[in-house]
Chains A and B, each alone.
Chain A
Amino acid sequence: MTAQTVSGGAAGPLPKQRAWLVLSHRLLKDPLGVLGLVIVALLVLSAIFADLLATHDPFQMAPRQRLQDPSAAHWLGTDQLGRDVYSRVIYGGRIALWVSLVAVGLSLLGGLVLGMLAGYGPRWLDNTLVLIFDAVRSFPTIMFALAMVTLLSPSLGTIIIIIVVASIPVYGRIVRIQTLSMKETEFILAERALGAGPIRVLFSHILPNVIGPLLILASMEIPVVITIEAGLSFLGLGVRPPTPTWGSILQEGYQYIRDTPWLVIAGGLPLILTTLGFTFLGEALRDAFDPKLNRP
């Protein structure tokens, strides 16, 4: 008997539909999502092409032209040292994006590894990791930040370390719960019955199922990180001058707010726009991913 004779009626038509196609289709139908996408794209482009977009050297001081209003030469005016604010904002965006991507990426990675270890590993490891997660989370972030800055030195690296340590538990807990709930499902048992070891089960089968929701969470974390960086810089705990960041532009503008409002606007507006952009995008992605919102 050949294989064909046992085929029964198994030859059904297959729906040719890729998940990501549906996803992008849904995303583009959400106006706020499109707005978010545009803002984020502009930010990324301006960060990549900062050297081309900037009209001046952001570090070039000109004491005679300090605190000028916007003009054809200086599109957003100049600061207290006569530096071109527009160029500083552009370079500030590059730093904001770099810090947030590195910090979110590292905490995502750390959360994934630790969360999967906790969820799939032995009970004692799970208990230990959960204890550490809870301990970190119960510690006020700002105090932790102050302590770190005092111990190390105020720099981009320190900011990244602070953010990573504080947000690993956020990702770790989500990954742990997902892993735990997936551990006993039939498809994981089926893989184990075939002889798959823990590494294969975790990276080949559990990871693809947790990464989607996690990436959405991460895109919504990026503005939070940018704000933290700005906040720390504003408090003088962040990046050292003369590095241009939105936080430091804002802080300097704050000191000269009686002379000109432009500095505060130039530092604050991109911050607000970026935050909104990433949040819109994240929310739209979350909606698009949600299978329960079964929109046509």
Chain B
Amino acid sequence: MTDLLAIQGLRVRFRTVGFVRALVDRVTDPYIDAVLDVSLMLREGETLGLVGESGSGKTTLARAVVGLVPVHSGSIHLNGRELVGLRESEYRGIRRSLGMMFQDPVASLSPRKTVRGLLIEPFHIHRIRDVDLDKEARRLLGIVGLHDGFLAAYAHQLSGGQARRVGVARTLALKPKLILADEPTAGLDVSVQGEILNLMNELQRQFGLSYLIVTHNLPVIRHVSDRLAIMYLGRLVEQGPTRSVFARPAHPYTQALVAAVPQPDPDKRRDHLELQGEIPSLRRRPSGCEFHTRCVHAQERCKVEAPLPTALPGGREVRCHFPLV
């Protein structure tokens, strides 16, 4: 298998205060790093789960790959081609091979367009004229399991699950290789979640797709991803095969995340809290290991020295001085 997507040392920063304001208030560093020193790769046909809490930079990372937010430094290779530094007009062609699904299934569909209009728009955008648009629209709807009656519907007339299916159909229109899905099951009912995930699974088999799934939902990602990457404050703290990361988390943060998921079994109630405190602000990153302020295993060394990514057996990697495995 070859690497479809390879990210090296990626850094995305945002300006938090305006130029004038920074001068007046003497802000020396008006930037925050939303994504910092992230390296990861995705093989063809693989599903990578990118997991983190709000502010971890997982959504920003996905948007950087699609070119919706500017990259400060580092590189993103898609099929061997460098994406960082491409001009907007050059990027547009790249987007044919990249599909992106956004969080809100209904709000990510243009409200004044019919489903048919939404489905054929990718062909208009990329000026593809040698296809029968009506046939394509019906074919795409069929792929995601909706009948033709939906062609005339507007986004607001669809249920969350139906809208999500239309979103999936749209990203498939141009036969991409890689789909980035930002919380594909957010806002959906449990029973509908399963339908969407099964659909995505089936499509992966059918079309050989690769997925980068951004989520905070651990129970869901456990069932759909081959590998996991855990983010905290814009950095990757752990990555490895899903099964082993869940079975034996190496980073204390991963362990806390797994433990924080409530079990739907009244006999497995928890009486202690794994993780105290809240995520620190990106403006004031803690010294040393950035997780030490909340880590139950933290020692003196963690407060002063930042850990580097270390390889573990089984294709795993962790950024911790005292990994749990």
> A186-B104, A187-B107, A189-B68 are known contacts. Are A12 and B162 too (CB-CB below 8 A)?
yes
Complex: chain B residue closest to A185, CB-CB: B107
Q: Which residues of A contact B66 (CB under 8 A)?
A: 193
Residue interface mask A179-202, B partner, CB < 8 A = 1: 000000111011111111100100
Contact A9 B195 (CB under 8 A): yes
Give per-residue flags for B168-196: 1 if the beta carbon is below 8 A from chain A beta carbons, else 0. 00100000000000000000000000010
* Complex CA–CA separation, A19 to B170 (angstroms): 24
**Judging by beta carbons under 8 Å apart, are B147 and A11 in contact?**
yes
- Cβ of A209 within 8 Å of any chain B Cβ, yes or no, is yes
Encode contact with B along A2-45: 1 for CB under 8 Å, 0 otherwise.
01111111111011010100000000000000000000000000
B53 close to chain A: CB less than 8 A: no
A4–B145 contact, CB under 8 A?
A: yes
From 156 to 204 in chain A, residues with beta carbon under 8 angstroms from any chain B beta carbon are 185-187, 189-197, 200, 204
Query: Roughly how many angstroms separate A192 CA and B149 CA in the complex, as a whole number?
Result: 27
Say if the beta carbon of B142 comes within 8 Å of chain A: yes
Q: Would you call B159 an interface residue if the criterion is a C-beta within 8 Å of the partner chain's C-beta atoms?
A: yes
* B150: chain A residues within 8 A (beta carbon): 14
From the candidates A12, A190, A209, name the one contacting B102 in the complex (CB within 8 A): A190
The interface-forming segment of B32-40, B118-126, B288-296 is: B118-126
- Of the residues B99, B103, B149, B199, contact of A14 by C-beta under 8 Å: B149
Cβ-defined contact, A192 with B202, below 8 A? no
Contact B102 A197 (CB under 8 A): no
- B26 contacts the other chain (Cβ, under 8 Å)? no
With a CB–CB cut-off of 8 A, which chain B residues contact A152? none
Interface centre among A3, A19, A208 (most CB of B within 10 A): A3
User: Can you name 25 A-B pairs with beta carbons within 8 Å?
Assistant: A1-B206, A6-B144, A8-B198, A10-B144, A10-B146, A10-B195, A14-B149, A14-B153, A15-B157, A186-B103, A186-B104, A186-B107, A187-B107, A187-B108, A187-B110, A187-B111, A190-B102, A190-B108, A194-B95, A194-B170, A196-B121, A200-B125, A204-B121, A205-B113, A209-B112
Given A10-B165, A15-B157: 15 more A-B contacts, CB < 8 Å: A1-B205, A6-B144, A6-B198, A10-B195, A187-B109, A187-B111, A189-B63, A193-B99, A194-B95, A194-B121, A195-B92, A195-B95, A196-B125, A197-B92, A209-B112
